[in-house]
Structure 1
């Protein structure tokens, strides 16, 4: 398998190195266990002769060769974790050129993978339009507003698509690398996972902090503060809208546009977050915790926790040990 890692100026150092390390291990195990019959030919390519990482290290890049077509192109994250830094970065000349090159590779049959903020670089090309994708969870509101034609699900850690695959936040780079290795050999991927003490994760939902998402919009931020004060009382869209001096329709539309969910669904996210905190630090049983977040019984809360976090109460409590 021929893979090209597209190195842009100021990329996130860990994202690049974890991808390289995973494929290097896979190659080593391929030689030891399979006689080298499965190899990963990985190159780091760049649009500039000299590229530096976000930490200022020089990255040895190769020129993009027209004769050697990659099977996969991987776009690591840029080291721009805040919207006010990311938006200008996406308008850089080299990022625009990268988009053109990605479209060329795609037209030639290459598949494209990206993780974390690298998903924004791919989305800029329009190649993700009308497809499912994921991204780094704390920038999901910006992604959703900037690329309304992409079917975003930031709860998922990795989403295959027609053009390739996208992965979630930060260490999603490793999830992407392991997934690619698994497509070639599940046994090889299992061996790499063991050596790295890592495994493919299906969800990043339990890491999401709801108030970080709310900060993307003033109305949603006010709604979040209002909702936290009323977790025990239940939810009324009309009451929320009146308290925020807006209409129910406006609040509904803003939640859908920024968060990709209804006000009620976001209210339930806040309840789950509070319940998760109490599970970890209060010593209360599930019935008492349910009462603290506005539910009459623990069964309803258990169902909501598993639905939202992909894990049960016992699993969450086991994480404390």
Structure 2
């Protein structure tokens, strides 16, 4: 690792930009070249990444994150996004042409693919919080109630969510609502108002706004994905 670190630092000193995606981002992080920088990695490894490299500003919801040292990309298929990003720096037109030949859409986020309960598996307290949250989606979120049910303090729950998930408890609760709403939309048997009630919202308009903010797509688009 020291040899790799020395080589990476030498390349940076010569003005080179470094790119990595998926598990490759761990190599850059281990070498220390991402310290103090923004980065992304495969969403499924985000809790481990965040715990090992607290000096890096991780955002696993994004597909691509440029920084002062180069660019990092998300999960395995992020290699394709990374290659298209590098081409785009030289020629946006060429990047668009290549993406059409490869039948590859330009994806800006990993958020629609994240499985919240997978992230929860990395920590016992977060796993218990996930189970509690799923049982209370219709009731709305209360930090005090959640902490009491888990036998911990609100501050401890907030800190653990931040260190493992990179977000506060309420944001993770919202992730679970979005996941459940998607599942119900795919089931096709409920209208938007009924789904909103199932995940704790007063009306369908609020749910529509949340889905578009989190996933970048509306209800019609999400349902159209199944056709």
- Whether 1:112 and 2:21 are equivalent positions in the alignment is no
Report matched runs for 1:136-147 at 5 Å.
136-147=42-53
Counterpart of 1:217?
123
Report the Cα distance in structure 1 between the residues aligned to 2:116 and 2:178, rounded to whole angstroms: 10
Q: 1:164 aligns with which of 64, 70, 73?
A: 70
Q: Does 1:273 align with 2:179?
A: yes
Which digits, 9 at most, give the CA deviation of each residue in 1:93-149, with x for residues without a partner?
xx4432221111111111000001101111112221222111100111111111111
> Given the alignment, which residue of 118, 126, 148 partners 2:54?
148
Post-superposition Cα deviations, 1:136-184, rounded to whole Å, max 9, x if no partner, equal 0011111111111111111110011111100000100000001101111
TM-score by length of 2: 0.97
Determine the structure 2 residue equivalent to 1:315.
221
How do 1:201-240 and structure 2 match up within 5 A?
A: 201-240=107-146
TM value normalised by structure 1? 0.69
- Does residue 300 (structure 1) correspond to residue 196 (structure 2)? The answer is no
1:283 aligns with 2:189: yes
**What is the rounded CA distance, in whole Å, between the counterparts of 1:184 and 1:134 in structure 2?**
22
Residue number in structure 2 paired with 1:24: none
Residue 75 of structure 2 corresponds to residue 183 of structure 1: no
Higher helix proportion, which one? 2
Equivalences, count: 227
Q: Which has the higher contact order (CA 8 A, sep 6+)?
A: 2
Match of 1:57 in 2: none
Q: Contact (CA 8 Å) 2:20, 2:73: kept in 1 or not?
A: yes
Structure 1 gap ranges (5+): 1-94
RMSD: 1.1
Task: Tell me if structure 2 keeps the 8 A contact 1:144–1:260.
Answer: yes
Contact residue 138 and residue 200 of structure 2 kept, 8 A: yes
SS at match of 1:188: helix
- Is residue 33 of structure 2 the alignment partner of residue 135 of structure 1? no
- Poorly superposed stretches of 4+, deviation over 6 Å: none
Say whether the 8 Å CA contact 2:35–2:55 is kept in structure 1. Answer: yes
Secondary structure of 2:140's partner? Answer: coil
In 1, are the aligned partners of 2:34 and 2:69 still within 8 Å (CA)? yes
| Structure (1 or 2) with the greater strand fraction | 1
The structure with the largest alpha-carbon Rg is 1
